Structure 1
Amino acid sequence: MGSVVVVGSQWGDEGKGKIVDWLSERAEVIVRYQGGHNAGHTLVIDGVTYKLSLLPSGVVRPGKLSIIGNGVVLDPRAFLTEVDAMRAKGVEISPATLKIAENVPLILSVHRELDQLREAASGAAAIGTTGRGIGPTYEDKVGRRAVRLADLNDRETIDGRIDRLLAHHNALRVGFGAEPVSAETIREELEAARPVLEYADPTWRTLREARNAGRNILFEGAQGAMLDIDHGTFPFVTSSNTVAGSAAAGSGVGPSSLDRTLGITKAYTTRVGNGPFPTEQKNEIGQLLGERGAEFGTVTGRKRRCGWFDAVMVRQAVQTGGIDRLALTKLDVLDGLDELKICVAYDVDGERMDRLPVETARQSRVQPVYETIKGWSASTRGARSWGELPAEAVKYVRHVEELVGAPVAMLSTSPERDDTILVEDPFHI
C-alpha cells in the first residue's frame, strides 16, 4: 500500500497525463487536490482519446474511485459538461465512482467575468490567465464569501452568501464599467448546479477509510511547481499552491498519509502565457522543440514557449516540493540534436545565483548560465529499457539527476503509455 503525490516540477504541461494514467492503473483511489478546469491533460487508452480538465484521471478506468478534493474550485457547468462528454465516450460516471468534497467552492459566472474583465483591463501587464474564473473564486474562498457545494442544501445560507458575494463583485463590476448582476441571476445559476449535489461527500473521511483499508491512493496535482502562488514566478502564477504539500490540505488527509512525491519533469522546458523564462529559445531551436513536442495547451490550445532544460528551476522545485523521484518525459523530442544545453546557474546583474530570485524585476533580468553536452543521433522514441537508449541519452538523464538532486524513477519516450522505462514503481519504493 502506498500514497503517491504527482506534481509538475516546471511551469506545467510536463506530460502528467500519460504518467498519471500509468499510475492510476495501479492505484485504487485517484484524487484531484487543487486547481480547477484551467489545467488539462490528454489520455489515450485502447486508441480512444480522453481530454480531461477537471475530472481525475481515474474516471476513465473501471473499478477506480475518483475524488475531487476541497482544494479544487469547481465550475458546476464545466463539470456537468465534462461528465456528459465522458459518458458519450462510454465512460461510466456515477456517485459510486466519483465523489466531490462537500466543501468545495463553486465557480460562478461572476468569477469568469471578473477574470476576463481584469485581463482585458491589464493590457500588456496581463498575467495570462485562462479566464475561467479560478483566481476570483480562490479570492472569494479566502474572503469567506464563496458559495460551497453543500450550501446548495440550505436556501437560507445561500441567500446570505449571494448578498455577500454580490456586495463585493458588483462594486468591482461597476469599477470596470460592467453592469451589476442581480441576486436572482445567481440564484438561478445555483439552482442549475443542483445535480452536482448527488456527488457531494465528506471525502476526507472516505480517504481515511481507503487508507485504513490499505488501498493505493494517487494524489493528482495540476499546473507545475513554478506556478505555485507562494513559490512560483509571482505574479505570473496560478491562484493555488501547486507543490506537493498542498495535497494534504487540499484533500483532508494528514501529511503522514503522503508516502512519496513524484515530480513530472520534461526533458526541456516550456511555459504558457506571460512571465519570466530564462532558457526560452526564440529561434529555430524553440520552434523545433515546439513542433516535435506538439506544444499546444490541452485546455486553451495556446502555443507554448519552448527552451532548454533549466536544472536550477527543477532543483528548486525538488526542494520546495519534497520531490523524491522524477518521471522524465519527452526525451525523444531531443533526438537528432548535435548538442544540448542545460542551464546550471543564473546570472543576475553580474551575480551568479543557484536559485530564482524572488523579486519580479530581478527575475526578468535572469540570464542562464549554460553547460553544453553532446546530443545523440539515434532515436529514443519508443524505448522501453535502458539498453535501447543511445549512450549519450543515458548520460543526459544521469546528468539531469545529478544537477537537480533527485533520481529518475520513470522515463517516457513517446506519448504511448507503454513506451516507458520503469526504474522504480512509485507505489513500491
Structure 2
Amino acid sequence: MHTIVVDLGYGDAGKGTVVDRLCVPRPDAAPVTAVIRFNGGAQAAHNVVTTDGRHHSFAQFGSGTFSGVPTHLSHLMLVDPLALATEARHLASLGVPDPLALLTVDRRARLTTPYHAAANRARERARGTARHGSCGMGIGETAAYALAHPADAPTAGDCTSRTALRRKLTLLRDRLTAAVGPLDAPPVDACLDACTAFADHVTLVDETHLPGLLRRGPAVFEGAQGVLLDEGHGFHPYTTWSTTTFDGAETLLAEAGRPHTALRLGVVRTYTTRHGPGPLVTEDPALAAALPEPHNGHGRWQGAFRAGHFDVPAHAYAVAACGGVDALAVTHLDAPARHRALRLAHGYRTPDGPMDRIPAARPGHLRHQQALTERLLSARPDRWQTPGSDPHAWTDALSAALSAPVLLESYGPTAADKAGPLAGPPRGFLAGPPAGSPAGTPTRAVSAGRATAG
C-alpha cells in the first residue's frame, strides 16, 4: 500500500521526519520505491536529522533521500531549478552521492524563477504591516501567472529548448515588471543558462513514468505546508497558493489507474504552531521559550515562529476539510514531559458566543473564509484538557479528539526516535517508546478506519 503524508496544521508538524522514517529499510516491509511530491515547491522546509547527526531541510528533494529513496517531482509541483541545484549541493556535502541522479521531474511541472520570487517579495513589502506571511520564494506568483497565462508559463520540459524558454522567460519578466515595478532578479540569459543546465542534469519524464513507478512497489506521497493553510480551506488571506490536502496525491493515483490505494496519514504535533501572521487561537508565548526549536525560527519573509497549545477545533476542521484520514502520526511526544503545562483546547470563546467547532464551507468561498478568519482572530481558547506528561495519555487524547488511530509516534528528530506499526515490526499499537523516552504503557491493538472528525 502507498502512503500519503499530510500536515493537519499550519505546517511544521514533522512531515519530513515522518517520511524519513517511512523510507528507512525494514526487514518486515517492502522497500519504498519513491517519494512523490505533489504540491508546493521550493518553499517547503522539511527538517530531517540522521542518527549520526547530519541535518538537512528538504525543500524539493523527498525526505527519504538519506535512505537512497528516489524522488519524483510530479506535474503538480512547482519546480525551482536554481533552488534545486543549491539543495543538491548541500545533500552532496552531507554524503549523498550524486543527488540529482535520484530525481525524476515531470516535464509538465511549472517552473518557479527568480522573476516570480522577486515579484512575490515586492508585493509582500508593499503590504507593510499587513503582510500575509509569504515564504518569499515565488510560489504564489508561479501559480497566479500560470492561471493567468497558461500557454506562456514556463515548464520543466521547456528547459530543453533555449528558444522556447527564452521567449517565455522574457514575457514573464516583462509582465511581472509591468505589474510590480523593476525586479531584483538576474538577466534572462543567466536564468536561461541555469534552466538548461538543470535539464542536462535531471531526468525529465512524461505522464507514463508515474504509473510504472507505482507498479514497482509502495510509494510515499510527501505533502507540503499544512491543511490549515490550504488555498480553499485555509483562513484567508493567510493561506498558500496550493492545495495542501490529500487531493493532489489522490489525483495522481487516479491518473495512474490506482485510485484510493493509499493510507491517508495525517501528521500532528503535541502543540500547535505556525509561522507568521494569521489565526493561532491557542497561542501561548511562553511555549516558544519553554520548547525551543533549533530548526524553526523567525523568517525574514514569514515572520515569527509561534506556538500554542493543541487546538482541537482547528485540527478537527482540517480532518473534515481533507475528507477524512485513516491514521495519525504524532510528533513531539517528548514535549509534554519537558513542559508539563501543555494541554488541549476543545473549544473557543468568541464575541458571538462559544464555538466548539469551526464551520466548513464550500472550498474557495473566500468571503466566508475571510469572515471566519476575523472570528478566529478574536477567539480565545476554552474547555481545556491536560493529559499530563505520559505520552500514551497524549496519543489517546489526540486519537479520541480526531477520531483516528495513532500509527506512528515520534519522540525526537531521528528515525530511531519513532515507534508504532509504521515505524517497526507489526507488534500491535506500540510496545513502548524508544530507549531513553518516557516510560510507556502496555501494548494496545488498533484498527484503521477513515476518520472524518468535525
**Which TM class, normalised by the smaller chain length?**
0.7 to 0.9
Amino acid at match of 1:24: C
1:38 and 1:132 in contact (8 A); partners too: yes
CA distances 1:16-51 after superposition (whole Å, capped 9, x unpaired): 222110112241211111111212122223413233
Could you say which residue in structure 1 is the equivalent of 2:114? 109
Residue 13 (str. 1) matches residue 12 (str. 2)? yes
Answer with 91-100 or 18-27: which moved more: 91-100
In the alignment, structure 1 residue 84 sits paired with structure 2 residue 84: no
Displacement of 1:6 in angstroms is 0.3
Provide the C-alpha distance between the structure 2 equivalents of 1:418 and 1:353, rounded to a whole number of angstroms: 40
Note the 1:303-382 alignment, pairs <5 A: 303-321=304-322, 322-335=324-337, 337-356=339-358, 358=369, 359=371, 360-376=373-389
Question: d(CA) in 2 for partners of 1:233 and 1:205?
Answer: 37
SS in 2 for 1:82: helix
Instruction: Pick the aligned partner of 1:51 from 51, 57, 60.
Output: 57
From 165, 169, 172, the equivalent of 2:176 is 169
Q: How far apart, CA to CA, are the structure 1 residues paired with 2:416 and 2:353?
A: 44
Q: Take 1:271 and 1:342, find their aligned partners in 2: how far apart are those partners?
A: 16
Equivalent pair of 1:244/1:261 in contact (CA under 8 Å): yes
Q: Which residue of 395, 405, 421 corresponds with 1:397?
A: 395
Measured in 2, the distance between the counterparts of 1:179 and 1:308 equals 41
The Cα shift of 1:309 comes to 0.3
From the superposition, tell whether residues 415 and 100 of structure 1 become closer, same or farther in structure 2 (CA, over 3 Å).
Answer: same
User: Residue in 2 aligned with 1:193?
Assistant: 195
Query: What CA deviation, in whole Å up to 9, does each residue of 1:90-146 have, x standing for no partner?
Result: 212366521011111111121111111111110111111121111111111222132
Moved more, 338-347 or 225-234: 338-347
User: What is aligned with 1:270?
Assistant: 273
Match of 1:240 in 2: 242
Match of 2:283 among 280, 285, 296: 280
Distance in 1, Cα, partners of 2:125 & 2:100 = 39
Aligned mate of 2:144, from 113, 124, 139: 139
> SS in structure 2 opposite 1:189?
helix
Give the distance between the partners of 2:98 and 2:50, measured in 1 at CA. Answer: 17
Q: How far did 1:152 drift?
A: 2.3
Partners of 2:295 and 2:101 in 1: CA distance: 36
Change (3 A) 1:127 1:205: same
1:22 corresponding residue in structure 2: 21
CA separation of 1:329 and 1:232: change in aligned 2, threshold 3 A? same
Which residue of the partner structure matches residue 385 of structure 1?
A: none
Q: Distance in 2 between matches of 1:265 and 1:286?
A: 17
Q: Which residue identity lines up with residue 336 of structure 2 in the other structure? A: L
1:420 correspondence with 2:418: yes
Q: What CA distance in whole angstroms lies between the structure 2 residues aligned with 1:413 and 1:180? A: 43
Q: CA deviation at 1:167?
A: 4.4
Q: How far apart are 1:169 and its partner, in Å?
A: 0.9
Q: Could you tell me whether the CA contact under 8 Å between 2:387 and 2:393 is conserved in 1? A: no
Tell me the secondary structure at the aligned position of residue 84 of structure 1.
Answer: helix
Counterpart contact for 1:10–1:226, Cα < 8 Å: yes
CA distance in 2, matches of 1:43, 1:12: 15
**How far off its partner does 1:156 sit?**
4.4
Deviation at 1:247, TM superposition (A): 1.7
Q: Give the C-alpha shift of residue 147 in structure 1.
A: 0.8
| Count of aligned pairs between the two proteins | 403
Contact 2:72 2:104 in 1 (8 A): yes
Q: Secondary structure at the match of 1:307?
A: strand
TM-score, normalised to structure 2, is 0.81
SS for the counterpart of 1:274 is coil
Q: Would you say the 8 A contact 1:225–1:231 is kept in 2?
A: yes
* Match among 407, 415, 424 for residue 409 of structure 1: 407
* Change beyond 3 A, Cα 1:328–1:59: same
Secondary structure of residue in 2 paired with 1:335: helix
Q: Distance in 1 between matches of 2:209 and 2:294?
A: 38
Separation in 2 of the partners of 1:246 and 1:426?
Answer: 28
- Measured after TM superposition, the shift of residue 12 of structure 1 is 0.7
Write the letter of the residue equivalent to 2:159.
Answer: L
What corresponds to 1:157 in structure 2? 164
Question: What amino acid does structure 2 have at the position aligned with 1:132?
Answer: M
1:45-101 superposed Cα distances (whole Å, 9 cap, x missing partner): 341323322211232223x32111122212211111111221222212366521011
Distance in 2, matches of 1:247 and 1:170, equals 34
Asked if 2 retains the 8 angstrom alpha-carbon contact of 1:8 and 1:263, the reply is yes
Alpha-carbon distance between aligned partners in 2 of 1:324 and 1:347, rounded to the nearest angstrom? 30
Paired residue secondary structure (2:79): coil
| Cα distance in 1 for residues equivalent to 2:294 and 2:184 | 42
Does the aligned pair in 1 maintain the 2:409–2:418 contact within 8 Å? Answer: yes
Q: Distance in 1 between matches of 2:341 and 2:135?
A: 35
Maintained 8 Å contact 2:22/2:422:
no
Q: Please tell me the residue identity of whatever aligns with 1:158.
A: L
Give, in whole Å, the separation in 2 of the partners of 1:310 and 1:99.
38
Q: 1:191 to 1:339 in 2, by over 3 A?
A: closer
- Distance, in Å, in 2 between the alignment partners of 1:297 and 1:27 is 32
Q: Is the 8 A contact 1:40 1:298 kept in 2?
A: no
Cα deviation for residue 202 of structure 1 reads 2.8
2-structure distance, mates of 1:243, 1:427: 29
Aligned in 2, Cα 1:126/1:253: closer, same or farther, shift over 3 Å?
A: farther
Shift of 1:209: 0.9
- Of the structure 1 ranges 267-276 and 135-144, higher mean CA displacement relative to structure 2 is found in 135-144
Structure 1: where are the runs of 5+ without partners?
377-389
Does the CA-based 8 Å contact 1:66-1:97 persist in structure 2? Answer: yes
One-letter amino acid of the structure 2 residue matched with residue 369 of structure 1: D
TM-score (norm 1): 0.86
* Gap regions ≥5 residues in structure 2: 25-30, 360-368, 427-447, 449-454
RMSD, matched Cα = 2.7
